[in-house]
Amino acid sequence: FNSYTADNIDSRSYIEYLNLTSLSVNYVDDYYIEQFVLDTKTYAPRLTEIKVHFHRLQTVTKNFTRDATRYNCRNIKRLIFEKTMNYPKQLYLYFPSLED
């Protein structure tokens, strides 16, 4: 998980998505996934649902331990993954608003 390099990209853009509630990022580069979970790049206060590949989300969040992406993940109530599996405990701690 240490190979993710978007931390080194200097992006001064900050975008607000005030009405965005759902997002599908299955077929985009990891950099774009990071754009929506990193609070220094995106403000999406109503975002509650993300459709994403589990392993790509795991990479961007550094196995659900990256503090820089934790803030925008706090309100996510639904994660939609392609496959059902037993997800690690860290996922649920990282996304505390997930619904059963």
CA distance 68 to 39: 7
Whether 76 contacts 99, CB under 8 Å: no
> Percent of the chain, pLDDT > 70?
87
Q: What is the mean pLDDT of residues 3-26?
A: 77
Locate the DSSP E strands across the chain. 15-16, 22-24, 42-43, 49-51, 78-80
Domain extent listing, the chain: 16-94
Kindly report, residue by residue over 30-46, the tens digit of the pLDDT.
Answer: 999 999 999 889 999 99
Whether 69 contacts 98, CB under 8 Å: no
Whether 37 contacts 68, CB under 8 Å: no
